[in-house]
Amino acid sequence: MAASKVIVVGAGIAGLSLARSLVKQGFAVELFDQGPIPNPLSSSFDEHRITRHTYGSLDGYTRLMPDAFRAYDALWQDLGKRHYLPTGIAYVRRQADDWYATTARDLDAFGIEHRLLTEGEVAARLPMVRPGGIHSVVEVGGAGLLFPQRILADLVAWLREAGVVLHEHSAVEAIDLEHGRVVVAGKTHAADVVLVAAGAWVTRLLPEVAPAVTPSRQTVLYLDPPDDLRSAWAEAPILIEEGAHLSYTLPPRGGTGLKIGDHHFSRRGHPDEDRTPSSEDIAPVEAAAAAAFAGFERYRILEAKTCFYTVSDDESFFVQPLGRTGWVVSACSGHGFKLAPLIAQGVAEAISGKRDPAKIAEWAAGKDPR
Ligand SMILES: Cc1cc2nc3c(=O)[nH]c(=O)nc-3n(C[C@H](O)[C@H](O)[C@H](O)COP(=O)(O)OP(=O)(O)OC[C@H]3O[C@@H](n4cnc5c(N)ncnc54)[C@H](O)[C@@H]3O)c2cc1C
């Protein structure tokens, strides 16, 4: 018999996207979050997130990304708004390698524009980039900023309208994925299918996924640039620094702030711990900013923000059926926002019998996109 009722645990981008895809497949959906919906402490709650076609060595994701963009297009249709700003992305490479040749082949296959910037173009358009030791700067299209807080708010409104029951401040205390039950405030709720999309809290509910999925404490800095660079930043693409320090910088566009994070997974901490950033949290991001920006000492740090996401060894999105009725869905390693609506669609199709559930884990991990 086909399942008719689904419980989703967690109202980040993964849980909300799952709820939407399941409603579209005709399921009755109840969603529980331990905090408000959306929850400011979730990984998903921030001003901006990067989406892009280029995935370097993770070429399975390069093949998934056109579908991921299409999944967001379908979301904009439902929401009646497009919370996406195409900005392009510039890769600043400080070592000689064959990255551009490999990436260019992938991008050509998908018709995405790309080109090497000349020294003059870098100086004129990207004066914020530290000039020393640059091997190449490659600008790539098909990339831009997603605006999560706006997406989450509109998705929540859409779900309410579609009849999804949203339980705020309702922490799931215990879970039985064999029999489709969750316990909230001592009361048992039952469903045909239970989906766990609990973000960095997932290992507390399901310790058995701990070897594959690790919570990681990450820090980002919001910055105020010097006055003479303000207009360049207002037009800047996303910047990815690929030198001794790996960092990503989101420009202050579409009403957001200037933000930098380093692409280094701390693999420590728990999302319930104190989030006040320590000097140990901030120092590596400052070092990454000093390596990426010309004259970083002239920037003012407006806010250091500590957040958590899950990390997997190969940076893949983790999706796994568990027990007779359960699924765990964890958007891993800083790639989760851009992929969540697509993965949700695949999982909902598997639950409704339209796709083979046995193949979903590999597909979501970017290993078999067919
Ligand atoms: C600093 C940073 C930068 C990032 N940059 C990018 C980027 O540029 N591009 C990109 O695609 N991705 C990026 N990501 C990753 C992306 O934001 C995450 O992968 C994604 O938001 C995770 O979504 P989620 O729904 O799985 O988890 P979350 O958003 O954390 O949602 C989980 C929810 O589950 C709830 N919950 C947990 N336990 C329980 C329980 N027992 N009962 C009820 N509710 C519970 C929590 O309250 C929470 O609301 C970044 C993440 C961070 C932190």
CB 349 within 8 A of CB 355: yes
CA 94 / ligand 1 centre spacing (Å)? 31
Residues with CB under 6 A from ligand 1: 9-15, 32-35, 39, 42-44, 49-50, 171-172, 197-201, 205, 218, 220, 261, 307, 309, 330-331, 334-338
The pick from 201, 238, 246, 315 for probing ligand 1's pocket by mutation, whose C-beta has the most ligand atoms within 8 angstroms, reads 201
pLDDT in tens, 202-258: 999 999 988 888 888 999 999 999 999 999 999 999 999 998 889 999 999 999 999
pLDDT at res. 206:
94
In eight-state DSSP terms, residue 278 is P
Closest among 222, 326, 219, 335 to 283, alpha carbons compared = 219
The reported pLDDT for the residue numbered 1 is 42
pLDDT digits (tens, 9 = 90+) for 306-339: 999 888 877 778 899 999 999 999 887 778 999 9
Task: From 48, 49, 218, 332, give the residue whose CB has the most ligand 1 atoms within 8 Å, as the site to mutate.
Answer: 49
DSSP 163-226: T-EEESS--EEEEETTTTEEEETTEEEE-SEEEE--GGGHHHH-GGGTTT-EEEEEEEEEEE--
Shortest-distance Cα residue to atom 15 of ligand 1: 334
Locate tokens 């706006």: which residue?
A: 150
CB count, 10 Å around CB of 325? 21
DSSP at 150:
H
Tokens found for residue 146: 């997603």
Domains annotated for the chain, with CATH where assigned, are: 5-45+149-213+314-364 (3.50.50.60), 89-141+214-311 (3.30.9.10)
123: its two tokens: 């100086």
**pLDDT (mean) for 124-149:** 96
pLDDT at 106 exceeding the cut of 90: no
Torsion region of 305: left, alpha or beta (phi above 0 gives left; psi -120 to 50 gives alpha): beta
User: How large is the C-alpha radius of gyration of the chain?
Assistant: 21
